[in-house]
Structure 1
């Protein structure tokens, strides 16, 4: 073991906890040397550590040096949760911050710090002031590349630091700073002895590679000006309340060849601007996109269809096609919340335009498509990843899908018409349509329980390559439908089969509903398009309590069905603490079960048809819920209440599942959809 190459050891340390790295350091002398470098590479100081180091800093010089002898290994210092609320109650009156002398002395013991992270420090302003007023600046932070603080726009726990103090501190160490965020809200800058023209001062950051620049004062500034100032820039995140001046860009593109060129190190560009003009779009398409690894654009005050109308569909398609060639690229249209549409177009033509733009982002035939429709303002986005995933977000207003009821010959006597935004694009114009979608996610606000069924119908009818589907309707009662591939167990961890680009609806084996009793119409629709379903899961949302006296589902047509997982509260179990389950087998005798209990127990016993009917008929004891499920004899039932206490019924036998299996089943039936929805919204 002692002969392992240092490269292997470093990989081991990188994937180990600090506790394990420390154990490695105790193995042998050679491991100790390499392990301690890794162990002390990042130093995290919270309130208790502040108290400890304050005591050590008061020791005699020789003893103090011994405790800080490994400080030269530290490259990153993080100070966080450093207030009295994060120490024992009996120490609440103790000072939980360094004095100026202690702070400067600590930094002297850490001469190789590259990152000073005060983002979540309650004393960040105090410590920055100590550094700014330090007379021994040449002895501390002389290798600092980044200083991280909580600015006025952040909502984290740290003390907010004024922009002038942050910039003044970074300017003090401008020779080594590589990462900087600039709030350009005034052309002149003054903070103590540091003053001058802001843009001129930026030229003095000779080592800068990563810049975030927020422009709120100069309507003539361009990204060309910023790029001129930093010849070694790798990443630029430029936000401006002004569009890039069209005349300036046109002049540069017409003659200044040097300003059009990018240095070879520049790889990442983020732009947040009101809109993108034709000439600047040409500059990005012809000179920027071919050289980048990451390109992200946010158009922050114009709706997508207004932008296309002004820009021209042909030009918009050409521009997005250039973005598709970048490893990671995205474009977002996010108008202000109360902006009105400038140009009115029909829903059908909007859908056609959007799929035409989506087609422009396709870089090869193996792209994996994820569609996300969600309630909100007119936000739209397209994004491609290095893994050849193409994601699009299409936010809907309530008026886009909350349409009047139409009479149709459905079981309930009525249904909603299809949501307008889910219409089929004009195929004479758009090369692609919803058939390209592999993952279909919807989250809307509506109180009508039939809306999930209509959205499911649209996905099953129009998306032959569908692999996963999740529809959540948030209203008076929350309703969810989830379709997914078959979960499988491996190494005691519940996993999902990875989606192949060639997978189709035939690979969907799991149906999950939440706070929904699957109707006959829904099951007929699912059987028509997903006949190979193996697992049905019906659960109740934590905040929803629909009254259902009879839970009835016919699963006889699903010849491959293996299991049904059922929340007994769906059929009134929680109200009376008792309910009945009637299983009508198509190929053997029927079975009857009595379910009773409370919030902590669930008891299931076999019963008879006579006993069940007798108990249900005695109305003075209250109404009793009942579930009737028709299926084939191979089906296994898993009954649970409050997402635990699972009982299994299989081949006429009743058995309790152990806690470990319950947790895994809970992960399948609950976390699967919840995690998916959190992922969608992120």
Structure 2
């Protein structure tokens, strides 16, 4: 097959490295394009001896002409995998020699390595002259921050990306005359991340003037509140090429909002604002709802934007409801932030950090995090505390949960009906839901997942359609840690009549019911006309009693099966006559009413046994495979 060189390159880019390596030895036409892709990114780690042996053999590096990124990882224990003796690391001279073979290198990513200091001594006028970015993945200490600062400075002629940590006593002040003086030396700098913990406040405008080529600025100043600006103050450099701006402050005042609204350069496509000293509602009280909505309106016109409030966990809000509920205010803000875009919405609700809220938007994806507080969760109007989640006032907020397409709950509150109540809330208020996940972190630890496909139950959907209705999208149900009531089955069949797969699991290691009193359960699945697969963990019912399973098929056929934990064969057929003759055992009966669906299975998560029925016919009992993470990998949802 004779293809143009450029086509080979595009094909090889889609393959993994072992496959590319094999392709390189297939024929002469494949060798060069395959190695060009293979060596675009390389990694060196603890193989010091092997690398040293080839450093002075130039043919070993003939393909490194194409290398654009090098990962440097050093095993701090000095052992090559599988070797019995430690390998010596490269000397500084050998390490510098290594980089002579990479004339077109653009990115170095260095992770927990003693080689970091060697980068400081490379002659950047002769080697790595095209280096654009150095990514440090080490623990940040002040001494390391100064080292990074010095290394960046060494490559200031070519670097386009840097990430600076500016402490009170740092090399930026003592050696380079301050942050602005330092930045002026980087003539090609386009992306700056600046973490400021010094006492010196620097404005976005001054940074832009120092580096007019910047297209992306991320400024993190967790303790600073931007000062009030006068009418003639310069907030942004209007002649810059800035496209992305991200700022983190203790608070953002109404004055700063005014200047963002008036002076944000037209070139900006992305704006992220993070506030870490005050929560959303206190911030609204301070700046006023009109100013908050003005900011949201500015951000709604951008391609990408985010607003978040992440105060410390000890923070106590001062806000008191006065006519409008918290959720109404939040969705009112969301409505303006969203604008008139027809986009999908992914949301997470949690009471774990009730003071954390965020709204973000990127392209066609709207994301929100809503912190559930006491008044969102409980109703005590009748003198009794009831778990009853609220909805916003649509006459004020305009939009509500109906805009949500994917929803996740992370809940600390305990309630025996937690999963059911949230399930009911979600299906009732989110008609376009295409994914739902409920996680209870405290006992009883209940979980619930609604998914779009039984074939890819554990794979998240990457993109949601904002107009698809839940009944068409949601096809699989996975419940864990609770025995669904008939009310739960009725709810699901009402909103999701087209369910194809259903799973009821127990919490592994935690018995659901240890009652010594016989209890009977009925699971009526006859209302699920499209059901193809149903799995039921026998651990959801009493574990201390002899258990019987009864099948009542819609064609009138009835059969019984017995479950015993201590027998090699855990599930066995039993006749009604044998049951009636054996009255000495405490018996707990669970009855399944259903059609003869494609696959029906009940199993024991404790013993890893599964007993299946295919279209009503019993199959041979088998043992579930069990992986290292203690998940049932053989159980297809």
Would the TM-score normalized by the shorter structure come out above 0.5?
yes
2:386 paired with 1:417: yes
Deviation of residue 522 (structure 1)? 2.0
Runs of 4+ in 1 over 6 A off after TM superposition: 402-407, 493-498, 657-663, 667-670
User: Equivalences for 1:375-394 in 2 at 5 Å?
Assistant: 375-377=351-353, 378-386=355-363, 388-394=364-370
Secondary structure of residue in 2 paired with 1:361: helix
1:89-104 pair list within 5 angstroms: 91-95=84-88, 97-104=89-96
| Residue 115 of structure 1 pairs with residue 91 of structure 2 | no
Q: Which residue of 1 aligns with 2:404?
A: 437
Matches within 5 A, 1:9-48: 9-48=8-47
Q: Among 592, 599, 603, which residue is 2:560 paired with?
A: 592
1:245 Cα deviation (Å)? 3.3
2:129 aligned with 1:142, yes or no? yes
Task: Check 1:534–1:43 CA distance in 2 against 1; reply closer, same or farther (3 A cut).
Answer: closer
Matched, 1:53 2:51: yes
- Aligned in 2, Cα 1:535/1:458: closer, same or farther, shift over 3 Å? same
- Separation in 1 of the partners of 2:4 and 2:274? 46
1:126-275 alignment, distance < 5 Å = 127-133=115-121, 136-153=123-140, 162-186=144-168, 189=171, 194-243=175-224, 245-248=226-229, 250-252=231-233, 259-264=236-241, 266-275=242-251
2:298 is paired with a residue whose SS is: helix
SS in 2 for 1:446: coil
Q: Is the 8 A contact 2:66 2:104 kept in 1?
A: yes
Match of 1:678 in 2: none
Partner of residue 97, structure 2: 105
Q: CA contact under 8 A between 2:560 and 2:575: conserved in structure 1?
A: yes
Instruction: Calculate the aligned-residue CA RMSD, in Å.
Output: 3.5
Per-residue CA deviations over 1:220-265 (Å, capped at 9, x if unaligned) read 4211111111111121111013445343464326xx8xx541534x
Distance of aligned partners of 1:495 and 1:204 in 2 relative to their CA distance in 1, 3 Å threshold: closer
1:360-405 alpha-carbon deviations (Å, 9 max, x no partner): 122446322233111322100112221x232211123578636779
- Structure 1 window deviating more from structure 2 (284-293 vs 112-121): it is 284-293
Moved more, 496-505 or 222-231: 496-505
Q: Deviations over 1:85-108 (max 9, x none)?
A: 64256544432x111221121122
Please identify, of 275-284 and 209-218, the stretch whose mean Cα deviation from structure 2 is larger. 275-284
Alignment check: 8 A CA contact 1:324 1:363 kept: yes
After superposition, the C-alpha distances for 1:329-355 in whole angstroms (9 at most, x for unaligned) are: 211111111122133226952111011
1:350 aligns with 2:326: yes
TM-score (norm 2): 0.88
Tell me the distance in 1 between the aligned counterparts of 2:613 and 2:418.
Answer: 33
Judged with a 3 Å threshold, the aligned counterparts in structure 2 of structure 1 residues 262 and 459 are, in CA distance, closer, same or farther, namely farther
- SS for the counterpart of 2:70 is strand
Contact 1:437 1:466 in 2 (8 A): yes
Give the TM-score taking structure 1 as reference length.
Answer: 0.82
SS at match of 2:395: coil
Match of 1:484 in 2: 451
Q: What is aligned with 1:676? A: none
Pairwise CA distance, 1:174: 0.5
Q: How many residues align?
A: 627
Structure 1 equivalent of residue 536 of structure 2: 566
Q: Is the Cα contact below 8 Å between 2:173 and 2:179 reproduced in 1?
A: no
Matches within 5 A, 1:52-91: 52-57=50-55, 64-84=57-77, 86-88=79-81, 91=84
Q: Distance in 2 between matches of 1:457 and 1:296?
A: 34
Q: Distance in 2 between matches of 1:384 and 1:497?
A: 15
Verify the 8 A CA contact 1:488 1:495 in the aligned structure 2: no
Whether the aligned pair in 1 keeps the contact of 2:327 and 2:376 (CA below 8 Å) is: no
Matches within 5 A, 1:270-285: 270-285=246-261
1:512 equivalent in structure 2: 478
Please give the alpha-carbon distance, in whole angstroms, between the structure 1 residues aligned to 2:71 and 2:14. Answer: 20
* Contact kept? 2:190, 2:214, Cα under 8 Å: yes
SS at match of 1:469: strand
Deviations 1:596-633, CA, capped at 9 Å, x for gaps? 4669x765433222323555x324xxx55432122345
Counterparts in 2 of 1:451-462, with a 5 A limit? 451-462=418-429
- Superposed CA offset, 1:559-604 (max 9, x none): 444442111222245x57x6321122344132212234669x7654
How far off is 1:518 after superposition? Answer: 1.0
Alpha carbons 2:548, 2:562 under 8 Å: kept:
yes
Deviation at 1:46, TM superposition (A): 1.6
Whether the aligned pair in 1 keeps the contact of 2:71 and 2:108 (CA below 8 Å) is yes
Q: State how 1:304-315 maps to structure 2 within 5 Å.
A: 304-315=280-291
Please show how residues 262-661 of structure 1 align to structure 2 within 5 Å. 262-264=239-241, 266-288=242-264, 290-345=266-321, 349-364=325-340, 366-377=342-353, 378-386=355-363, 388-397=364-373, 401=377, 417-419=386-388, 422-488=389-455, 499-507=464-472, 508-547=474-513, 549-572=519-542, 579-596=547-564, 603-615=570-582, 617-619=583-585, 623=586, 625-634=588-597, 636-642=599-605, 645-656=609-620
SS at match of 1:16: coil
Per the alignment, in what secondary structure is the counterpart of residue 66 of structure 1? helix
More helix by share: 1
> Are the aligned partners of 2:405 and 2:435 in contact in 1 as well (CA < 8 Å)?
yes
Q: Tell me how far 1:317 sits from its aligned partner.
A: 1.7
User: How big is the shift at 1:428?
Assistant: 2.9
Per-residue CA deviations over 1:628-674 (Å, capped at 9, x if unaligned) read 122345574122333965432144411249999999x967978x8xx
TM-superposed deviation, 1:445: 1.4
